[in-house]
Every structure is written in C-alpha cells, then in structure tokens.
C-alpha cells in the first residue's frame, strides 16, 4: 500500500524521487492495494497546489519521505494551534497540530480539503494526522446544461410545518441530460433549485454541475425551471374526416391533428362539438394529439361571456356570400361607446337569430372574452325595437298568403307580386300562420338582382294591415245590375271550385251628378242578395294599390215590387248540394253549393235561408241565389202548450229517400180527445235538427199552426229511445235497436255521457242522428239508465267432473295433450330475456 501511494504521488509530482521505486514491486503493491480498498473516483479529480509545497530538493512530502499511505479529509475545526479533520474515506475524526501543516497557516480554513498521513500520538497512542498538505478540487466549467427531471425531489416540509416528508428516506431527486447520444444522470436536492419552485417529473430544466466537497460526487446545482411538463390538454372536436380529425385546443387559438386510432373509446359516439382531453406529442416535426378521451359536455370553456348587456351600432355587416379573399373569421363590426369608443368584431354565429343585420342597426349584445388570447367580441346580438326608426329604412305591410317547408309568400299592400321570405327572417322567434299581418323590408336577392325578397319580418296586431280604404260617408243608390256568382271557403275539393263571378252595378247621385260603382257577390256574406231595382245603402271602398272603387257594407232599404224572394229551411246537406224545406213545410227544393252566398261550412241543417226559385232542365224546380238569414217568422210564435205522445208513422224523405212524400207523419197514441189524430212534421218540427226520427218510434211533441196555410204541424218533437248494449269494442259499440234495415245501432264510446264505461246488457237512452253525407244513422248522447245482469260462468256438468276425476295418467285410452310446437317469445327465444315492465302512457322507452 505504501509503495502504491508513493507511485501515485510520483505521478502527481513528476520530480525525481530520492527513493527509487522498482516497477515490479510497485505493480505488486498496486494489486495488494486494490484487494484492500478501491481508490475512489473523486480522488482522480484532485490535483495538488504546487504553491503549497516546499520541495527543497525533497520528495512531495514535508519531511521528504514518500513511503507512507496518505488520506484525504476536510478541516472540520480549526483553533489557534490545533484542529480536527473529518476523513472522507472512512468514518473517523482525527486530531492534528498546526505545526504539521507545511504551508501558510493563514490560508488554511474550515472546509478546506487536505491530504495527510496517519500516525500515533507518542503519549496516548491515538491516531493523529501529520504532514498535512492542502489540495484544491478540479474546477468544473460553469456551463449551463439543459436536461429533464427524472425523479422529483420531495419538499422538506419538516422544517416549515413540522410535518414529516411524504416519502421517508427519500431526500434527493435526479435529472438527466444527453451528450453525444448518451444519457447521464445527476442527483439534486431541493436546496439546489433556484427560486421557490416545486419541480415535477418531466419538467425541462437547466443547471450547472458541482462536486460535493465531502463525497466528491458530481451533483446538479443552480437548477432553473425552463418549461413545465406538458400535461393533459383539453379541447373540442371541430372537424372529422374519413380517418382523422382536428381538435380546437383549449389553451391556444390553434387546431391540432389527431388520428382515429388515438381515440380511446367507441369512435361511433364521437361527434364534432364533443369535449375531449389529449396528450400532445411531436411526430415528424409536427405536434399531434394522442390518447384522446371523451369528456363530459361543457367541460371545455373557451370564453367568458359578460352578464351585463351593452348597446351599440352596426358599422360593418357580414357579407351574405363569402369571397375567397375573406379570411377574417369575425368580419362584422359593432361600435360601442365606452369611455373610449371602440369597435368589437362579431361572426355569423354571434347573433341570436338569422335575421339580416343592416349597417346602422341599433343592437344589444354581450361581450365575450376568449380565455386563450383575451380577444373581445360581441355575441348574443339582437336588434332593438327602435332600430327601424333610426335607420329610416322603407318598411312595407302585407299578409301571409302561403306557407311552405321553410319559406312562404306575403301578399303586399303596395305591390302586385307576392313577396318571397324565408323563416329565418322572422323576428322575435314567433311562429307565423296564414293571414297573419306583418311588416317587412324588401331587398334585392344576392344571387339574382332582378328578384326581391322580404327580410326582417315583424308580426303586427290584427287589424293593422288594410288593403283598402273605406269611406266614412254612407251613400244611397239603386241596383242597376245584379251581381252573379258565389264564393266558398270550404276545404272540400267539390266545394272549393269558385264560379266565375260577375260584378253588379249600383247607381247613385253625388253633388247632382249620376255616378255608378260596382259591387261583388263576395261582399254580401250574411246579407240578402240585392235584386234589380232594390234601394240600398252602402259605403265606398278604394284599393290602395290600384285605386279601384267598389261598394261595400251594403244594406237593403226597400225591395223592388217586382222582386220575389222565398224563405225556407235547410233540410239536408250532401257533398256538393243540399235541399231546402219550403215555408209551407210540405216539400223540399234542390240547391247547389255554387248558388250559396257565403261559407258553406257554416251552413247547418235547420238554418233559415232566402232564395229565388227557378226551373231548369226537365222543368225541375231549384233554388238560386241562396243566402243565409237570421230573421224569419218562426212558427214557434203560435205553438200550443199541450204535450202529446205519439208514434212516427212515416219519417222524413231525408231518412227514407224511397218514399214519394217529403213530410213525415206522427199519430197521437195517448188517451184523450186527440187520440188517433195524425199530424205532419218537417225539419223545423224537430227540437234537435240533427235527430233522425224512425218509423215506429215513440216521441213527445207539441202542435203549431203554419201562418201561410193554417195547417197544424207537429213541433218540438223529442224521442223516447231505449235499448240494451249488445257489445262494446275498443272505441265503439252497438245497441240492440232497429233503424231501417239494421237491427243494431252503432255508437262511439266518446258519445257516452258522464264517461261511464258501458258493459253488454246495460240499458241506455240515446238519440239517433243521420249522417247527411253517408245516409247512415248512429246513436249519440248515450245515457246509461240501469246496469245489466253480470254474466256468471256456469258450473261444469256433473258428468264432466266425474269423468275428469276418473281419468288417470296411466290410462292408455284417456285423452292426451301432445305439444306440437313449443312457444317462443318475441325475441324468438323461449320466454322473455328482457324483464317486462309496465309502460306509462305517453312515455316511450
């Protein structure tokens, strides 16, 4: 060992040695030294300070000897004449006297590295350090190295809060760096980190290297955080292609690519607009998203929207047709007057509705601030009601004329052509219907300048829009020409065909000048039709668009003596024609719906009408110019109070079309002076005009006298019908009651009074109505009088019970049941694989 260290000292000091060293002995000593103890790596980085040596022709030691093994240590304590050294190679603390230091004692300080020999104290025999020599460590270059934290050092919380570290025994961390393709690792502690920064695994750092004085190990020192570890990022899927997509990042205003193979989940559930999280990695020099996972909706928030609303003015609108040069995603601008006036951008998705914005519009909006780049923009934009007054745009009036799937047409007050509009232009998100009155703006179509369309459509209260102006002055005149034709508002195809109308002419005087004005039959709804020579009162209406005048609000003052109008009652209504019962109630007259002035859908059986009688082909009488009236001489003014019970001998012809006579007949059957008397009845005789009196039915009725003929007529006839319920299906049933050729009478369940659930055998009272269109009868106003007997299952006959008891399974002659096919459930399996649950009405699973 002594020879090995001598060789080492000779290597450090190449001067000639007074004691020669044999090569063979040196090699053997070296082998022996390696067996005893391996020389630490840090000793190789030590170099002697030649200024501290006093050679004077001797070897590198103070006493000129070179045979002893030397150790290294650190000055731990230094007093005036002695001190103590902490050995670095072993756990030992050695005393030394200052006389054993060969250099300038003033340069020796606590913490200095020294080299010494170990000797024994002559008096005590304890080991002491002698022949001290100060050494200095190799100074590493002060270069900054960039690396990455491999294992983060835990915070030493014991000194700060009295708590123990989370990982007992772990006090240091490690960093790594790369040189020439190789990776090197260095340890560090929290004291080596600059600033109050907690490093985490994966953080990018820069540091310098330092050698520990006690151990000689090289550590990372002066660590500075360069970039935090890139954690999981969040974003929203903004586009999806065939095998890849793009995510709008939540931390930057930037999109990032991802491949479908990186999505962790069911790809069929991923849709544009879904919130996701991902990890960013670099591939081929570009950033890509990996390990993409779905997040709950609403997790990613890009912007903060102000609660307060602001008012502003549109200074730049978004073009309807985007050009190739348009690159600004927020091309619109709104000027808002803050302390300093500023313009805010907005895009096509920032408006509450798709209603067209125009420059100069007064709008109200919220301000949205992007969390990523702090960009402010206007959003939730809506037009204020006073905007139309400020912009002074030309607004027009009209009525909704037609509605289609997503668009419609407006009948304009000031234009002949109907104006096209799209549903997206309806303001206030209201739903429009045909005949609604609206206000709108007309602009040229972007794609075709020759076409116009309506925008910014606003619904108006009823009565606001008028296509005509009507004079307040009333005029008096005489009909010079009768109007012909009719109008029907029925939705039935057979009734909706309008007959070619011909306008009438009224002559009147104005300031001594004879004037004429036309009138139309469609303006006479609810009013008798004027005849030639009738004196009338009217107003004049002028069309705003064309200036044409016509007579309206016509009132007949005096009928012409040559005009004869007849009064009757509607007896029956078919598909496109009907019948009128005459005022004598003894016959019926045919009329076509085209001859009716008004809406046929509002015409009901029993209504009083006014008409003219005419003869057509085959000398058949028909009614013309039929009009509904409200005031007639009702026979109920001469009704007798006595109530009779009678039996129908003959129904009306509307019930039995085969009979020749129109009138029905009823015979008094109760005891009294009138028993056996027979009286006629018509449609006016029925208390319920829709009731269908059948032959043989018992009714209650009164008598009245027909004014024109003096004939007595049955009046206020009501039926007394009873029957038993034959059967009840889902929504309908049948009653045991003969009507015509049928022995059962149909009824609907919703015609049962009080919502009673009928059962077969229940006794009921009801009315019979005749469907004028189909000619079939049915029951209505069904009332249960009493419940029928409940059906009780009859017991099995004794012979059958005795036979069943006598049969045994072993009896070969006994009847047997053979399973031909096993039952299967709805899912084609035996039984139900899914648990059956009670379904709630109106709820779809």
Pairing of strands 310-316, 113-120: unpaired
Report the distance separating Cα 425 and Cα 446, nearest Å.
15
- The pair phi, psi for residue 579, each rounded to 5°, is -135, 145
The pLDDT value recorded for residue 246 is: 96
pLDDT tens per residue, range 635-665: 445 788 888 888 888 888 877 778 888 888 9
CA dist 661 to 228, 614, 654, 777, Å?
Answer: 106, 21, 10, 21
The pLDDT value recorded for residue 90 is: 85
Q: 43 or 223: whose pLDDT is higher?
A: 223
Q: Provide mean pLDDT across the span 218-226.
A: 88
Confirm if 725 and 760 have CB atoms less than 8 A apart. Answer: yes
Report the distance separating Cα 384 and Cα 455, nearest Å.
16
Pairing of strands 621-628, 596-597: parallel
Longest dimension (CA), the chain: 177
Confirm if 175 and 188 have CB atoms less than 8 A apart. Answer: yes
Residue 161 has pLDDT above 60, yes or no: no
| DSSP label of 430 | P
Pairing of strands 577-582, 588-592: antiparallel
Confirm if 463 and 434 have CB atoms less than 8 A apart. Answer: no
Report the distance separating Cα 12 and Cα 14, nearest Å.
6
Task: Report the range of poorest mean pLDDT among 10-24, 628-642, 743-757.
Answer: 10-24
The pLDDT value recorded for residue 25 is: 38
DSSP result, 788-802: PPPP-PPPPPHHHHH
The pLDDT value recorded for residue 842 is: 59
pLDDT tens per residue, range 83-134: 999 988 888 899 999 988 888 888 888 888 889 999 998 888 899 999 998 8
Residue 216 has pLDDT above 90, yes or no: no
The pLDDT value recorded for residue 791 is: 63
Report the distance separating Cα 46 and Cα 213, nearest Å.
11
Q: Provide mean pLDDT across the span 245-252.
A: 92
Residue 201 has pLDDT above 60, yes or no: yes
Task: Report the range of poorest mean pLDDT among 143-152, 191-200, 398-407, 524-533.
Answer: 524-533
Q: At what angle do helices 23-36 and 2-12 cross, to 10 degrees?
A: 110
Residue 223 has pLDDT above 60, yes or no: yes
Report the distance separating Cα 355 and Cα 424, nearest Å.
6
Q: Provide mean pLDDT across the span 48-52.
A: 35
Average pLDDT of the chain, as a whole number: 79
Confirm if 464 and 399 have CB atoms less than 8 A apart. Answer: no
Residue 502 has pLDDT above 80, yes or no: no
- What percentage of the chain reaches a pLDDT higher than 90? 16
Of the pLDDT bands very low, low, confident and very high (cuts 50, 70, 90), residue 43 is: very low
Task: Report the range of poorest mean pLDDT among 362-371, 514-523, 557-566.
Answer: 557-566
Strand partners, 544: none
Residue 68 has pLDDT above 80, yes or no: no
Confirm if 60 and 53 have CB atoms less than 8 A apart. Answer: yes
The pLDDT value recorded for residue 696 is: 79
DSSP result, 750-782: GGBGGG----TT-EEEEEEEE-TTT--EEEEEE
Q: Provide mean pLDDT across the span 731-753.
A: 83
Q: 488 or 519: whose pLDDT is higher?
A: 519
Looking from the CA of 828 toward its CB, the CA atoms found within 13 Å total 0
| DSSP label of 432 | P
Nearest CA to 714 out of 566, 580, 585, 579 is that of 585
Tell the burial category of 90 from Cβ atoms under 10 Å away from its Cβ (0-12, 13-18, 19+).
Answer: exposed
Confirm if 489 and 495 have CB atoms less than 8 A apart. Answer: no
The pLDDT value recorded for residue 59 is: 38
Pairing of strands 286-294, 255-259: parallel
CA dist 553 to 470, 479, 519, 540, 544, Å?
Answer: 10, 14, 10, 8, 18
Residue 57 has pLDDT above 50, yes or no: no
- The structure tokens 């189909």 sit at 774
Report the distance separating Cα 170 and Cα 153, nearest Å.
8
Confirm if 303 and 273 have CB atoms less than 8 A apart. Answer: no
Report the distance separating Cα 91 and Cα 819, nearest Å.
97
Q: Provide mean pLDDT across the span 685-696.
A: 80
Report the distance separating Cα 354 and Cα 457, nearest Å.
12
Q: HEC string of 659-716?
A: CCCCCEEEEECCCCCCCCCEEEECHHHECCCCECCCCCCEEEEEEEECCCCCCEEEEE
Residue 841 has pLDDT above 80, yes or no: no
pLDDT tens per residue, range 805-826: 777 666 667 667 777 777 776 6
Of the pLDDT bands very low, low, confident and very high (cuts 50, 70, 90), residue 164 is: very low
The pLDDT value recorded for residue 141 is: 55
Residue 11 has pLDDT above 70, yes or no: no
Tell the burial category of 559 from Cβ atoms under 10 Å away from its Cβ (0-12, 13-18, 19+).
Answer: middle
- The pair phi, psi for residue 463, each rounded to 5°, is 90, -5
CA dist 493 to 170, 498, 596, Å?
Answer: 94, 10, 16
Task: Report the range of poorest mean pLDDT among 528-542, 558-572, 656-670.
Answer: 558-572
Confirm if 288 and 341 have CB atoms less than 8 A apart. Answer: no
- What percentage of the chain reaches a pLDDT higher than 70? 79
Vertex 415: Cα angle to 412 and 419 (nearest 5): 55
Residue 634 has pLDDT above 70, yes or no: no
The pLDDT value recorded for residue 162 is: 42
Report the distance separating Cα 114 and Cα 131, nearest Å.
10
Looking from the CA of 775 toward its CB, the CA atoms found within 13 Å total 11
pLDDT tens per residue, range 258-303: 999 999 999 999 999 999 999 888 888 788 999 999 999 989 998 9
The pLDDT value recorded for residue 489 is: 41
Backbone conformation region of residue 298, classed left if phi is above 0, alpha if psi is from -120 to 50, else beta: left
| DSSP label of 373 | T
Confirm if 96 and 82 have CB atoms less than 8 A apart. Answer: yes
Q: Count of CB atoms within 10 A of residue 474's CB?
A: 11
Q: 157 or 409: whose pLDDT is higher?
A: 409
Report the distance separating Cα 805 and Cα 816, nearest Å.
15
DSSP result, 800-819: HHHHHHH--TT-TTS-----
The pLDDT value recorded for residue 659 is: 83
Of the pLDDT bands very low, low, confident and very high (cuts 50, 70, 90), residue 796 is: confident
Looking from the CA of 408 toward its CB, the CA atoms found within 13 Å total 22
Q: Is the dihedral of CA 224, 230, 233, 238 positive or negative?
A: positive
Task: Report the range of poorest mean pLDDT among 95-109, 456-470, 732-746, 786-800.
Answer: 786-800
Task: Report the range of poorest mean pLDDT among 128-142, 197-211, 640-654, 756-770.
Answer: 128-142
Residue 497 has pLDDT above 80, yes or no: no
Nearest CA to 239 out of 248, 230, 229, 226 is that of 248
Residue 493 has pLDDT above 60, yes or no: no
Of the pLDDT bands very low, low, confident and very high (cuts 50, 70, 90), residue 562 is: low
The pLDDT value recorded for residue 182 is: 84
Q: Which residues contact 443 (CB under 8 A, 6 or more apart)?
A: 356, 452, 453, 455
The radius of gyration computed from the CA coordinates of the chain, to the nearest angstrom, equals: 57
pLDDT tens per residue, range 427-459: 887 888 888 999 999 988 877 777 889 999 999
Can you give the pTM of this predicted structure?
A: 0.42
The pLDDT value recorded for residue 722 is: 81
pLDDT tens per residue, range 701-712: 888 888 777 788
Confirm if 262 and 289 have CB atoms less than 8 A apart. Answer: yes
Q: Which residues contact 692 (CB under 8 A, 6 or more apart)?
A: 651, 655, 739, 768, 769, 770, 777
Report the distance separating Cα 289 and Cα 232, nearest Å.
10
Task: Report the range of poorest mean pLDDT among 181-195, 358-372, 600-614, 787-801.
Answer: 787-801
Of the pLDDT bands very low, low, confident and very high (cuts 50, 70, 90), residue 525 is: low
The pLDDT value recorded for residue 398 is: 92
Q: 236 or 691: whose pLDDT is higher?
A: 236
Confirm if 409 and 420 have CB atoms less than 8 A apart. Answer: yes
Task: Report the range of poorest mean pLDDT among 34-38, 219-223, 410-414, 429-433.
Answer: 34-38
| DSSP label of 34 | H
């Amino acid at each position: 060992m002594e020879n090995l260290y001598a060789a080492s000292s000779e290597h450090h000091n190449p001067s000639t040695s007074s004691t020669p060293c044999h090569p063979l002995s040196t090699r053997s000593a070296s082998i022996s030294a390696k067996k005893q103890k391996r020389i630490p790596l840090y000793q190789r980085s030590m170099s002697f300070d030649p200024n501290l040596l006093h050679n004077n022709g001797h070897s590198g030691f103070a006493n000129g000897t070179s045979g002893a093994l030397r150790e290294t240590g650190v000055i731990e304590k230094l007093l005036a004449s002695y001190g103590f050294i902490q050995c670095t190679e072993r756990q030992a603390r050695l005393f030394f006297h200052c006389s054993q230091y060969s250099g300038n004692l003033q340069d020796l300080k606590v913490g200095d590295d020294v080299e010494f020999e170990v000797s024994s104290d002559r008096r005590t025999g304890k080991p002491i350090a002698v022949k001290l020599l100060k050494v200095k460590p190799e100074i590493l270059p002060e270069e900054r190295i960039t690396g990455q934290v491999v294992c983060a050092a835990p915070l030493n919380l014991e000194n700060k809060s009295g708590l123990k570290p989370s990982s007992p025994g772990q006090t240091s961390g490690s960093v790594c760096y790369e040189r020439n393709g190789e990776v090197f690792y260095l340890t560090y502690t929290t004291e080596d980190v600059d600033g109050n920064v907690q490093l985490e695994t994966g953080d990018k750092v820069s540091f310098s290297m330092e050698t520990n004085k006690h151990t000689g190990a090289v550590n990372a020192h002066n660590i500075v955080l360069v970039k935090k570890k890139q954690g999981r990022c969040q974003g929203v899927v903004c586009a999806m292609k065939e095998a890849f997509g793009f995510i709008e990042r939540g931390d930057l205003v930037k999109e990032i690519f991802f491949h479908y193979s990186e999505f962790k989940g069911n790809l069929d559930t991923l849709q544009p607009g879904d919130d996701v999280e991902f990890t960013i990695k670099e591939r081929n020099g570009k950033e890509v998203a990996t390990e993409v996972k779905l997040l709950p909706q609403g997790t990613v928030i890009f912007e903060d929207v102000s609660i307060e609303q602001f008012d502003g003015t549109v200074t730049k609108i978004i073009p309807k047709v985007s050009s190739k040069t348009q690159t600004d995603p927020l091309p619109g601008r709104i000027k808002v007057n803050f302390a300093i006036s500023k313009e805010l951008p907005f895009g096509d998705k920032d408006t509450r509705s798709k209603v067209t914005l125009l420059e100069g519009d007064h709008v109200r909006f919220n301000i949205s601030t992007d969390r990523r780049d702090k960009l402010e923009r206007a959003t939730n934009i809506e037009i204020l009601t006073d905007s139309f007054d400020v912009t002074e745009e030309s607004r027009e009036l009209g009525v909704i004329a037609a509605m289609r799937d997503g668009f419609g047409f407006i009948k304009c007050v000031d234009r002949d052509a109907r104006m096209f509009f799209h549903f997206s232009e309806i303001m206030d998100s209201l739903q429009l219907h045909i005949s609604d009155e609206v206000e709108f703006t007309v602009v040229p179509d972007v794609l075709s300048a020759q076409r116009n369309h309506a925008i910014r459509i606003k619904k108006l209260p009823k009565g606001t829009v008028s296509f005509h102006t009507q004079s307040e002055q009333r005029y008096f005149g005489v009909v010079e020409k009768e109007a012909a034709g009719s109008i029907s508002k029925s939705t039935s195809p057979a009734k909706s065909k309008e007959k070619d109308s011909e306008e009438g002419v009224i002559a009147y005087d104005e300031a001594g000048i004879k004037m004429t004005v036309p009138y139309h039959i469609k303006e006479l709804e609810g009013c008798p039709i004027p005849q030639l020579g009738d004196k009338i009162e009217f107003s004049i209406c002028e069309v705003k668009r064309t200036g044409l005048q016509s007579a309206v609000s016509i009132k007949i003052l005096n009928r012409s003596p040559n005009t004869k109008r007849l009064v009757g009652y509607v007896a029956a209504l078919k598909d496109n024609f009907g019948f009128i019962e005459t005022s004598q109630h003894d016959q019926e007259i045919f009329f076509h719906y085209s001859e009716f002035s008004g809406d046929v859908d509002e015409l009901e059986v029993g209504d009083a009408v006014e008409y003219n009688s005419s003869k057509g082909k085959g000398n058949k009488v028909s009614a013309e110019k039929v009009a509904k009236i409200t005031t007639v001489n009702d026979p109920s003014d001469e009704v007798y109070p006595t109530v009779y019970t009678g039996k129908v001998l003959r129904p009306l012809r509307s019930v039995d079309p085969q009979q020749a006579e129109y009138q029905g007949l009823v015979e008094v059957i109760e005891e009294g002076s009138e028993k056996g008397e027979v009286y006629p009845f018509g449609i006016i005789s029925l208390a319920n005009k829709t009731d269908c009196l059948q032959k043989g039915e018992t009714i209650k009725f009164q008598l009245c006298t027909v004014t024109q003929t003096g004939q007595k007529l049955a009046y206020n006839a009501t039926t007394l019908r009873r029957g038993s319920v034959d059967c009840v299906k889902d929504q309908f049933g049948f009653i045991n009651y003969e009507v015509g050729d049928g022995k059962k009478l149909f009824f609907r369940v919703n015609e049962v009074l009080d919502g009673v659930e009928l059962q077969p055998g229940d006794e009921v009272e009801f009315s019979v109505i005749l469907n004028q269109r189909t000619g079939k009868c049915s029951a209505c106003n069904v009332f249960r009088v009493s419940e029928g007997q409940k059906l009780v299952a009859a017991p099995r006959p004794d012979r059958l019970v005795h036979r069943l008891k006598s049969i045994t399974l072993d009896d070969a002659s006994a009847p047997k049941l053979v399973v031909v096919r096993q039952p299967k459930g709805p899912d084609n399996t035996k039984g139900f694989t899914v648990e059956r649950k009670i379904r709630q009405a109106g709820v779809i699973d």
